């Protein structure tokens, strides 16, 4: 089963553009578009999605002078419509235009017709200034204003999604609307209907933070301290017996940063809490993250003391985001790294994330599905992950399905007929080998109905021992192509053990030990101030000292392509090798749209292949060399001497 969608859910960098939903174009209007009233409830559904995510909405309108050249009285093709200041030019009341929605007016001059929202309006510059990269366009009419706007949007470099269920055509010539849709597709736009749009996660609240972040922000506000600060996220040491980590969670962190703001309700709670004064709370009304971010691309292998993420922003902004950034990135790194260890041990076997039910909360389970897929898992049982990110979704049945039937064979038959393209039967509810025999006996009957048994699942007992016996039963019964899938408290060590046994298992469902990263449920990681107002900063706490200044990581590879050495150095230093930290956000806006998840997934595969053999195993290996540059050491020593002289 695959719940992938061709159009990702709306998110940072997206805007909704509703073209001319004005009274004159609606039923009863002076230039009514056929069936135009049908789009209003659909437009409202799109509006709800964008408003819930606090994403920008633009209403555009024809805004004609009374003597406009397009009117018949002036020799044009149209009856008078959408005349400035008249009721017919107003937006449909059913849409409820919000004061926060932007309005773009076109065709405002009597001697110029303008169908495109970009024609003489400055719309492109306004969108680009707001960091918009993708437009979701609906409204009236398909063959005029929608078509012309889509053309110009694509010419101006925007990605365009046409809301096919929220457009209607004038069709002066029969088929004009269909031809317009075909042209928009040929130009590179994507067609979309609201039921095909992937669901979006809820907006990140600014209160997803620790109290001390907000109390420090008030202190910075009161002290007028808001110089430029550089914070870096890094891991101090590897978990026991782990030899590497895999960067993950960056896209989640960028989405948080790009939409971060305090709502009126959140500011209201702060007033009621008694911790904060009004002047500080009032200052948060326009709070936005305006900083720069450099980061390791998701799927990059890394090691202790190497910055994973570098944030450069006004002090209050860089400080506030600490809690949520660590929360998102640490968990993603943990699960991705754990999953990568399992992928290495499974070799060519299929791995599926089964862990949401025992994850530490719904979000943890959802993000574990993303991180494990990035690291090389084939998919997940978590349906929401399929809907959000297009991760392949897999599932069979639980023991309750078997127990709900009077006979095991009846349960198998009913499930197969209900899921004819996804027949994987759970066979260990009672006696595993007897159940395998029942599967063999049932197969010919199902085959006559055109149903193939794709696989059986083992979930208890000695999985390897059962797999050998079940494989023999299936093969003897002519089911040599029926796969064996196993689940049940598995981790990388169990996978390695079964591989060594040669167990005939084709795939594994991995649950609790993956999503909780059971042997290493947390990372010794930190997000620390490394520079403020142009001055490098260094913490010297016992066992928690930091390297000062904004930094870069340079990686060198051997002649065989394997990792050879890393060097952590100051960002302005030059050194031979590959710089790992890349710019991903400037002035609070991403430099590129979110990548499909398959992009970091392929990067992770390449990175894991380049690991030295010793680092790929489960036994502790000699640490990968991570050298600290001489200039960085000298800077740390200089700061230490200054600190001692002031003490």
Show which residues are catalytic: 20, 106, 145
Q: Minimal CA–CA distance to 428: which of 395, 403, 453? A: 403
- How far is residue 86's CA from residue 364's CA, in Å, rounded to a whole number? 53
- How far is residue 394's CA from residue 374's CA, in Å, rounded to a whole number? 16
Q: For 114-175, what is the HEC assignment?
A: CCCCCCCCCHHHHHHHCCCCEEEEEEECHHHHHHHHHHHHHHCCCEEEEEEEEEECCCCCCC
How many CA within 13 A on the CB side of residue 145? 28
SS3 266: helix
- The bridge status of strand 292-295 relative to strand 589-590 is unpaired
Q: How distant is the alpha carbon of residue 444 from its chain centre?
A: 44
- How far is residue 103's CA from residue 105's CA, in Å, rounded to a whole number? 6
Cis peptide before 141 (omega within 30 of 0): yes
Say if residue 565 is exposed, middle or buried (CB neighbours under 10 Å; 0-12, 13-18, 19+): middle
Q: Minimal CA–CA distance to 167: which of 141, 195, 199? A: 141
Token pair 């000699």 is at which residue? 622
Q: Minimal CA–CA distance to 194: which of 239, 132, 272, 136? A: 136
Structure tokens at 163: 């809301």
Q: Minimal CA–CA distance to 378: which of 394, 364, 355? A: 394
- How far is residue 7's CA from residue 192's CA, in Å, rounded to a whole number? 7
User: Which DSSP letter does residue 284 get?
Assistant: T
The answer to whether residues 318 and 230 touch, using CB atoms and an 8 Å cutoff, is: yes
Where do runs of H (alpha helix) occur along 294-407? 315-320, 322-346, 362-375, 383-389, 399-403
Q: For 403-438, what is the HEC assignment?
A: HCCCCHHHHHHHHHHHCCCCCEEECCCCCHHHHHHH
SS3 516: coil
Q: Minimal CA–CA distance to 458: which of 502, 413, 509, 498? A: 509
Q: Minimal CA–CA distance to 354: which of 515, 522, 516, 484? A: 515
User: Which DSSP letter does residue 229 get?
Assistant: E
Question: Which helix H or strand E contains 528, and what residues bound it?
Answer: strand 524-532
The answer to whether residues 438 and 469 touch, using CB atoms and an 8 Å cutoff, is: no
- How far is residue 647's CA from residue 637's CA, in Å, rounded to a whole number? 15
- How far is residue 632's CA from residue 637's CA, in Å, rounded to a whole number? 9
How many CA within 13 A on the CB side of residue 544? 8
- How far is residue 542's CA from residue 545's CA, in Å, rounded to a whole number? 7
Structure tokens at 285: 């009304």
């Amino acid at each position: 089963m695959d719940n992938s969608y061709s159009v990702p859910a709306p998110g940072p960098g997206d805007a909704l553009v509703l073209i001319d939903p004005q009274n004159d174009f609606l039923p009863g209007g002076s230039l009514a578009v056929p069936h135009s009233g049908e789009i209003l409830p659909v437009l409202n559904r799109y509006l709800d999605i964008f408003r819930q995510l606090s994403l920008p909405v633009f209403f555009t309108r024809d805004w004609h002078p009374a003597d406009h050249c397009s009117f018949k009285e002036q020799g044009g093709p149209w009856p008078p419509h959408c005349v400035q200041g008249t009721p017919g030019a107003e937006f449909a009341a059913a849409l409820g235009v919000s004061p926060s929605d932007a309005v773009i007016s076109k065709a405002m001059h009597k001697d110029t017709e303008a169908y495109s929202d970009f024609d003489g309006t400055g719309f492109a510059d306004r969108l680009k200034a707001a960091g918009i990269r993708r437009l979701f366009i609906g409204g009236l009419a398909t063959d005029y204003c929608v078509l012309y706007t889509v053309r110009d949007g694509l010419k101006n470099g925007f990605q365009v999604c046409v809301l096919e269920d929220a457009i209607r055509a004038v069709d002066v010539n029969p088929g004009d609307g269909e031809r317009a849709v075909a042209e928009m597709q040929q130009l590179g736009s994507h067609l979309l209907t609201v039921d095909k749009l992937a669901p979006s996660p809820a907006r990140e609240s600014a209160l997803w933070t620790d109290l001390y972040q907000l109390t420090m922000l008030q202190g910075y506000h009161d002290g007028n301290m808001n110089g430029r600060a550089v914070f870096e996220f890094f891991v101090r040491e590897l978990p026991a017996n782990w030899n590497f980590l895999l960067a993950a969670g960056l896209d989640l962190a960028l989405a948080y940063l790009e939409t971060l703001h305090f709502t009126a309700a959140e500011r209201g709670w702060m007033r009621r809490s008694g911790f904060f004064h009004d002047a500080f709370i009032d200052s948060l009304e326009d709070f936005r993250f305006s900083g720069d971010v450099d980061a390791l691309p998701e799927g990059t292998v890394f090691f202790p003391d190497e910055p994973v993420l570098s944030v450069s922003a006004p002090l209050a902004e860089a400080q506030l985001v600490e809690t949520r950034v660590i929360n998102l990135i640490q968990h993603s790194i943990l699960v991705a790294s754990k999953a990568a260890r399992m992928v290495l041990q499974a070799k060519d076997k299929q791995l599926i994330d089964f862990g949401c039910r025992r994850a530490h909360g719904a979000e943890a389970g959802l993000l574990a599905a993303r991180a494990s897929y990035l690291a090389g898992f084939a998919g997940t049982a978590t349906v929401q992950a399929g809907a959000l990110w297009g991760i392949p979704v897999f599932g069979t049945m639980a023991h309750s399905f078997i127990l709900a039937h009077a006979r095991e064979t009846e349960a198998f038959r009913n499930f197969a007929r209900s899921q004819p393209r996804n027949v994987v039967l759970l066979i260990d509810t009672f006696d595993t080998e007897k159940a395998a025999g029942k599967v063999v006996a049932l197969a010919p009957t199902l085959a006559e109905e055109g149903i193939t048994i794709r696989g059986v699942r083992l979930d208890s007992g000695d999985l390897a021992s059962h797999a050998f016996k079940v494989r023999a039963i299936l093969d003897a019964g002519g089911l040599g192509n029926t796969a064996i899938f196993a689940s049940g408290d598995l981790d990388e060590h169990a996978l390695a053990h079964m591989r060594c046994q040669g167990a005939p298992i084709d795939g594994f469902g991995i649950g609790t030990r993956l999503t909780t990263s059971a042997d290493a449920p947390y990372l010794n990681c930190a997000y620390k101030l490394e520079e403020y107002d142009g001055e490098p900063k260094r913490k010297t706490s016992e066992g928690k000292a930091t390297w000062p200044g904004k930094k870069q990581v340079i990686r060198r590879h051997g002649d065989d392509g394997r990792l050879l050495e890393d060097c952590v150095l100051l960002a302005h230093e030059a050194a031979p090798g590959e710089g790992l930290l890349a710019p991903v956000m400037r002035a609070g806006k991403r430099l590129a749209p979110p990548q499909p998840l398959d992009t970091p997934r392929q990067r992770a595969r390449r990175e894991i292949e380049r690991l030295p053999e010793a680092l790929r195993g489960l036994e502790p290996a000699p640490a990968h060399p991570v050298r600290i540059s001489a200039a960085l050491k000298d800077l740390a020593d200089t700061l230490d001497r200054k600190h001692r002289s002031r003490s």
